[in-house]
Chain A
C-alpha cells in the first residue's frame, strides 16, 4: 500500500484572492516579511499497488479530476503507507 500526497495549487498566472486576504492579515499581525501567500488543496490517497503503473494512475486521476489544469498545477509524493 502506498500513501500518496497530492498538492493542488492555483497556477502562477491566476490571482488568489484568498491568499491575498491571508497575507493582509499576516501583515497586520506584523509579519511584514511575508511576501506572498497561495492557498491550495492537499489530498491524501491510499493506493493499493496493482499491475498498473502508480505514477501514470496518479497523473491520470489528477488530470481528469483532482486538478483542473486550466487554472491549477499539481504535484505529488508517493510514500510507503504505514499500517496502523
Chain B
C-alpha cells in the first residue's frame, strides 16, 4: 500500500507520519509537496499535524487553498482512505470533507500531554484493530482542538455513528461531547486531534497508535489484493 504524506509550509509532524508508515509498518510512503497536482498514484492520503501557513487567519484555512487539496478531495470522493491528524483535521474541516470546525481550546492554553482516548466506533477501516470502547493512550499537542458543530450536525454525527474517538477522561480542549475524532458519512475520511503517529513504538512512550495504521493497511489489502 502506498501512502502520501502531504507537506504544507509549516507542517511539522510529517516526519513522524513518514516514520510510522515506513519503519513501523513497512509500507511505501512519499512526501507530497502542497502544490502537487496529482495524487492518483497513491492508495492512502495522510495530512499531518503542524502549523500550516503559521496558522495565519485560521488554522488550515490557507492550506485548504493549496493545489493539492482538490486532489485530496478527489481521492476522498474515490473512496481512498484520507487521514487528517491535528492540523490535518483542521484542514479537512476547512475543506468541507468533515463537518464542524476546530476552535481555540476552552482554557486558551496549548495542551501538550498524553490523553486517554476512547474508541467509540471500531467499525471503521481506521479503527477495526481496536476493541469497542477500548481506552488507548495517545499524545496531544494543540492550541485549537476544541471541536465544534451545530446541534443539527451533532445529531447527524451521532445517528450515523461518525464519532470515532472521544476523550475518555479529562477533556483537554472543551470539545463538544468530548469529541476527539470524527469520520465522514462514507467512512473513508477520518480527522482527529490526537497524534497516533507519535505512539507507534514503546521507545517513544507507547504504541497504542500503531493499530490505527495497521487497520488501514489490513482493510486495503483485503479489498485490493486478491488471495491466491
Contacts and interface: CB of A to CB of B under 8 A. Distances in A.
A13 B57 contact: no
Nearest to B108: A17
A68 B149 contact: no
B106 interface: yes
Interface in A19-45: 21, 41
Interface stretch (B58-66, B117-125, B156-164, B203-211): B58-66
Contacts of B149: 70
A13 B104 CA distance: 15
Interface in B38-97: 57-58, 61-62, 65, 93-94
A65 B100 contact: no
A18 B106 CA distance: 9
Contacts of B61: 65, 68
Interface of B is mostly: loop
B107 interface: yes
A1 interface: no
A46 B206 CA distance: 52
Contacts of B108: 17-18, 21
A75 B174 CA distance: 28
Nearest to A64: B65
Contacts of A41: 57
Contacts, number: 36
A81 interface: no
Given A15-B106, A17-B104, A18-B104, A68 B148 contact: no
Interface residues of A, number: 13
Interface in B153-198: 174
A65 B62 contact: yes
B94 A68 contact: yes
B101 interface: yes
Contacts of B94: 68
Contact of A13 (B65, B99, B150): B150
Contacts of B58: 68
Interface string A40-71: 01000000000000000000000011101011
A14 B106 contact: no
Contact of B100 (A17, A64, A66, A70): A70
A17 B57 contact: no
Interface of A: 13-15, 17-18, 21, 41, 64-66, 68, 70-71
Given A17-B104, A70-B150, 16 more contacts: A13-B150, A14-B148, A15-B103, A15-B106, A17-B105, A17-B106, A17-B107, A21-B108, A65-B62, A68-B61, A68-B101, A70-B93, A70-B148, A71-B101, A71-B103, A71-B148
Q: Which 6 pairs of residues, A with B, have the shortest CB-CB distance?
A: A70-B101, A71-B101, A17-B108, A17-B106, A68-B101, A68-B58
